[in-house]
Each structure stands twice: as structure tokens, then as C-alpha cells.
Amino acid sequence: MRIIGGTAKGRKLASFRGLSIRPTTDKVREAIFNILPQSFPFKNVLDLFAGTGAMGVEALSRGAEKATLVDSDPRAIRVIKKNLELCRFTEQAVIMNMDVESALHILSKKKKRFDLILIDPPYEASMTGSALKSIDEQGLLSPDGIIVSESSKRMIWDGALKGIELTDRRRYGDTVVSFYKNREELR
């Protein structure tokens, strides 16, 4: 696993094995970042279910000013810290060692808004819907922001949201990547 583009391009990242982690493959991560605007206007990034932190670190490498990485697994937190150090992004990152719902609640109370939100829960558990609902209800997505959600083709979430809409969906083998934006009329 390595950083695909930006200032830390080619840097190898640390990882760990276990049922609670399924890092985004380099191929899928590259596809996601190729779909996003190349000028990378995303200054404030939120990486939920961060695992190794590869997605958040990739965003920092490509020009994000700040990344908040959330994971509840202590092993993941150690690997995230190591990867931030390897890529020299420690000062630009905030790590939240807690469950996603608690983190979203805290971020909402602090009135945080994010330009890019990355959601990649374990495939065994469908937590995508609850994360999307919380982001929507708490207004955590900035007006022109994008949410990128990964899931298994067997765990695609197709629920309705009040202020956020699905704008694109791509499939890469067993992985499905969904892109969401604020509803046009609400921007």
C-alpha cells in the first residue's frame, strides 16, 4: 500500500491485519482520486472508519490543509499515527479514537464542516447509512463538498436523505464507490 499522488507520492504506508480492517486498494484509491477534481479544492477532509488512514493521508498529499481521521480500533490509531509520521502530515491531522457516531456528534457541536468526507466502514457491517444520515442531519458537509462512500456490492446503501443526494456510483470488482453532494436546491 502506497500513496498514489501528490507531495508524498510513492511513499509506502504501514498496515495491519484483522477482521476489522480492509484497506482501500491502491487501484480503487487511485480511481477515487482521479474522479475527484484534479485541482483538489478540498481543504478540510474527514476520514471515517479510517483504518490505516490511507485515504486521509492521500487527501493531505494532494493538497488538503487539514484531515480529521476517525477510528475506534486502538491498532488502527497506532497505524494512522505511523502513516502520518511517515508522510510528514502529523501537524495537519486530528485523530479521533472513538466510534463514528460519537465523533460526528462532537464535530457537529464544534460546528465543523468538511469539503470531502470519506466513509469506508467494514464490509461485514452496514454502517454507511447511519453515517450518511448523521452527516446530513448535522450539516457536516460544506455547501460544495463531496462524500465518497465505499461498500461491498452486497452492502450498497440506497436510502433517502433530506439534504444529500447520490450523484455517481462506480463498481471496482466487489467494491462499490458512491459519490454524494448536497442537493442542488439546498446549496
Domain assignment present for residue 33? The answer is no
**Which residues does residue 44 pair with via DSSP β-bridges, in sequence order?**
66
Q: Where does the pLDDT of residue 128 fall: very low under 50, low under 70, confident under 90, or very high at 90 and above?
A: confident
Instruction: Give domain status of residue 165, yes or no.
Output: yes
Instruction: Residue 118: give the domain boundaries.
Output: 40-186
Share of the chain above pLDDT 90, in %: 66
Report whether pLDDT(187) > 70.
no
178: domain CATH number is: 3.40.50.150
pTM, entire model:
0.91
pLDDT digits (tens, 9 = 90+) for 14-67: 987 654 556 677 788 889 998 998 777 899 999 999 999 999 999 999 999 999
Give pLDDT, residue 19: 45
